Amino acid sequence: MRFRSIIMGLATALLMAVAGSATAEDTDITIRVLSKDAKFIGTSMGGMRVTLRDAHTGELLSEGVTAGGTGDTSKIMHKDGGRRILMADDSAASFETTLDLEEPRLVEAEVYGPLGQPQAAHRASATQWVIPGGDLSVGDGWVIELPGFVVNILEPAAAQGWSSAEMDSVKVTANVMMMCGCPITPDGLWDANRYEVGMTVTRDGETVAEQSMNYAGKASHFEGEVPVDEAGVYEVTVHAYDPHNGNTGVDRTTLKVQ
């Protein structure tokens, strides 16, 4: 029995020594964030914050911000819709890192942004197995799609005061872009005629108007009017919606009428 115990002990020690001798291997990872139905989100929009964690343990592996351009339109978009097989080139924004891996890891990538448009920022995440030396920097890299539109109400300014005795409506202007900052124009690659842009107006919590907004003659600009025939606090919610794929973006502002 004692001999058997000695043998088992030696075997266990040998296995531990073999396991401990495993060497880590550098593994390159490139993360890109693709605006839904559009291009890559990069420096022009403030970039996307990227966080990589071990999905099982929660250990932080790497973090940073995507940087670069929106990519080559001809590689990403077909004029009649759809995508090409390879979308990224050197101009496509990315976050690059190298992980020192000793064993396969199920990595969770979380992205948040665009950082330059906080009112439109979204969070998206995905998981993928990564093996030592199995680079994810080849081809398009690890591409995560981010849904939404960037909607930014330009007028009126938040909490601005108005008098119902002086006017019965207030003009509302909003800038609406794809999440990559790509412009929306009539009959353009991102066609203003394709999207529903409208606003909902409430006064002291009660809905007083729901109406569409029209293209304002300048790329990505839409306009409408808020009825202000009574005193109160008005909240204006502007939305953009693509009925072809459900893509949606929202922004809000308030104004006080006396």
**How is the chain split into domains, by residue range?**
21-146, 149-257
What is the second-level CATH architecture of the domain 149-257?
Answer: Sandwich (2.60)
Residue that wins the pLDDT comparison between 167 and 93 = 93
pLDDT surpassing 50 at residue 4 = no
Q: Tell me the average pLDDT across 132-161.
A: 91
pLDDT at 6: 43
Of 28, 34, 129, 51, the residue nearest 86 (C-alpha): 34
pLDDT at 236: 93
Residue 176: strand pairing partners: 151
Q: Tell me the average pLDDT across 163-173.
A: 80
8-17, 76-85, 162-171, 205-214: least confidently modelled range: 8-17
pLDDT surpassing 50 at residue 7 = no
DSSP-derived secondary structure letter, 158: T
pLDDT tens digits for 212-253? 999 999 999 999 998 888 888 889 999 999 999 999 999 999
pLDDT at 170: 87
Strand ranges across the sheet with 248-257 = 160-162, 248-257, 232-241, 196-203, 206-212
pLDDT at 17: 44
Rounded to whole angstroms, the Cα distance separating 84 from 75 reads: 6
Contact 34, 87 (CB under 8 A): yes
Of 130, 123, 115, the residue nearest 61 (C-alpha): 130
- Kindly indicate the confidence band of residue 13, based on its pLDDT and cuts at 50, 70 and 90: very low
- DSSP for 195-212, please give it: SEEEEEEEETTEEEEEEE
Q: Tell me the average pLDDT across 117-146.
A: 94
Q: Which residue has tokens 């569409």?
A: 212
CATH fit for domain 21-146, picks 3.30.390, 1.20.1630, 3.40.50, 2.60.40: 2.60.40
pLDDT at 83: 54
The fraction of the chain above a pLDDT of 90, given in percent, is 69
Strands 169-178 and 206-212 come out as: unpaired
pLDDT tens digits for 181-204? 999 999 999 999 999 999 999 988
Calculate the CA 191 to chain-centre distance.
20
- Kindly indicate the confidence band of residue 8, based on its pLDDT and cuts at 50, 70 and 90: very low
For residue 87, what are its two tokens?
């979308």
pLDDT at 78: 73
pLDDT at 84: 59
The fraction of the chain above a pLDDT of 70, given in percent, is 87
Q: Which residue has tokens 């080139």?
A: 89
* Dihedral over alpha carbons 24, 30, 36, 40 (to 10 degrees): 170
pLDDT tens digits for 72-87? 998 888 766 555 567 8
DSSP-derived secondary structure letter, 45: G
Strands in 187-247 per DSSP E: 196-203, 206-212, 214-215, 221-227, 232-241
Q: What is the mean pLDDT of the chain?
A: 88
